[in-house]
Structure 1
C-alpha cells in the first residue's frame, strides 16, 4: 500500500465539538457582560487554537494583550470542565477507523486545540486508535506550521509522502502542503469545499469511508 499512516485533525474532522466550544466561550462572554455569538459564527472562529478563538470572540475594545490573556485563561477553565459534554464523533468515523486499522495503517491526531484537551477528548471518544496524539503546546508552532506533522512522521518512522493528512479547514490543507503530505479535505466539518480546494486539497471526502477509495 502506497500510504502507511493517516494523520487526522480533531475538531470538524473526527468530532463535532462546535457546541462545547461555543457554549464555553459564550459562558465566558456572558460573565463579562459581553455580546455572545451564534454557533454559525463559531464555525468560522474554530481552527487556529483557543487563543485565536478568544480574540475573534472578544469585543474589539477588549483585545489588548492583558485582556486576551485574562479571557483566554477563563475560557481554558470553563472548557476544561465542559469539553466532552456535547462533543461526538461524526457519523461513519468509527467505521472508517476500524477499516483503517484492519488495513494496518498507523493513525495519529494533530490539532491546534490545546494539547490537554486534544488528549482528553481523544482518550474519551477514541481509546486505543491513535498514537501519537498531539495538540498545541507552542503558539509559534501551531498549524499550518509543519512541525507537528513532521514530528509525527519521526515518531512513526515514516516519510512525509507516505502519510495522508485529513482535515476540514484551509489551515489543515496548508499544513499538509507545508509538510509535503497528501492533503485530504472533508466536507462534514466547519468549512466549504471551495475553501479546501483553494487551499490545496488533493482529495475531497463527502463521507468518511470515501477515504478507503483513496487508499
Structure 2
C-alpha cells in the first residue's frame, strides 16, 4: 500500500519555468508608466505571493505608488496575452508526471497565480496528467494559508496525511506545514537551496525524478 497517494504541485518555478514571460510582462507595465525595468533576477526574488505582491515589489512606490493599479492592470493584460511565449515545463517534469499517472497517483496544482491563468496553463501543458488546478480567487485565501490545498484534497477525495506538497519557495514550505502535509522543495525554481533549508522543508530534491524515491 502506498504511503502517499496524492501529489499537489506548485506551478511557477516547480512544474513550469515562467520566469521570462513574467519578467517581460512586468517590464512592459513599468515601461508604460516611465519606470525603470527590473532584472530577471529581481523578478525571481519577487515571485511566490501572487501578482499583486509582485507589482507592489516591482514599482518604485510599492503599494502606495500612484500608478500601482495601472501597472497591475497593464501587467495582467499583457501576461494573459503572452504567457506562453517562452514558458515551458522544466526538464524531466513531463516524464515524472507520466510515471505518476501510470502509477495512479492523484495529481493537483495549487498556485498563487490568478485562477484563470493557472487553469489555462495546466490544461495547455499538463492536461492529460493533472486532475485539479486551483489558483487565486477572491473567495479563497491564497498560500501560505492552507485553504487551496484543502480544496484540492477535497476535490481529489484525499487527505493531508496521504498527500505530498511539492514547491520551490518559502511560501510553499509554509503552505505544506499549515495544511499538515509533508513538503518536498525543489532547487530548480525561484529560490536557492539555503532558503528552503532555513524554512525546514521535509525533503529537498535537485531533479524531478528524485520525487519517486520519496513517495515510493
TM-score range, shorter chain: over 0.9
Counterpart position of 1:204 = 204
Q: CA deviation digits over 1:126-153, x for unaligned, max 9? A: 1221121001113871100000001111
Counterpart position of 2:44 = 43
Deviates more, 1:67-76 or 1:104-113: 67-76
| Aligned ranges 1:23-62 → 2 under 5 Å | 23-60=24-61
**Paired residues of 1:107 and 1:130 also in contact (CA < 8 A):** yes
**Paired residues of 1:188 and 1:206 also in contact (CA < 8 A):** yes
Give how far 1:174 is off: 0.3
Normalization by structure 1: what TM-score?
A: 0.96
- Name the CA distance, whole Å, in 1 between partners of 2:67 and 2:104: 47
Q: CA deviation digits over 1:7-61, x for unaligned, max 9? A: 000000001000000001101111111011110111101111111100000012x
Q: CA deviation digits over 1:170-192, x for unaligned, max 9? A: 00000000000001100000101
| Aligned ranges 1:53-92 → 2 under 5 Å | 53-60=54-61, 63-64=63-64, 67-92=67-92
State the secondary structure of the residue aligned to 1:13: coil
CA shift in 2, pair 1:156/1:86, >3 Å: same
Q: Within the alignment, does 1:125 sit opposite 2:139 as a pair?
A: no
CA shift in 2, pair 1:148/1:204, >3 Å: same
Counterpart position of 2:141 = 141
Deviates more, 1:117-126 or 1:105-114: 117-126
State the secondary structure of the residue aligned to 1:209: helix
- Name the CA distance, whole Å, in 2 between partners of 1:152 and 1:12: 19
- Name the CA distance, whole Å, in 2 between partners of 1:23 and 1:139: 29
Q: Within the alignment, does 1:182 sit opposite 2:182 as a pair?
A: yes
**Paired residues of 1:177 and 1:200 also in contact (CA < 8 A):** no
- Name the CA distance, whole Å, in 2 between partners of 1:86 and 1:16: 8
State the secondary structure of the residue aligned to 2:41: helix
- Name the CA distance, whole Å, in 2 between partners of 1:130 and 1:106: 8
- Moved runs in structure 1, 4+ residues, more than 4 A? none
CA shift in 2, pair 1:35/1:65, >3 Å: closer
Q: Within the alignment, does 1:2 sit opposite 2:7 as a pair?
A: no
Aligned length: 214
Gaps of 5+ in 2: none
- Name the CA distance, whole Å, in 1 between partners of 2:138 and 2:181: 22
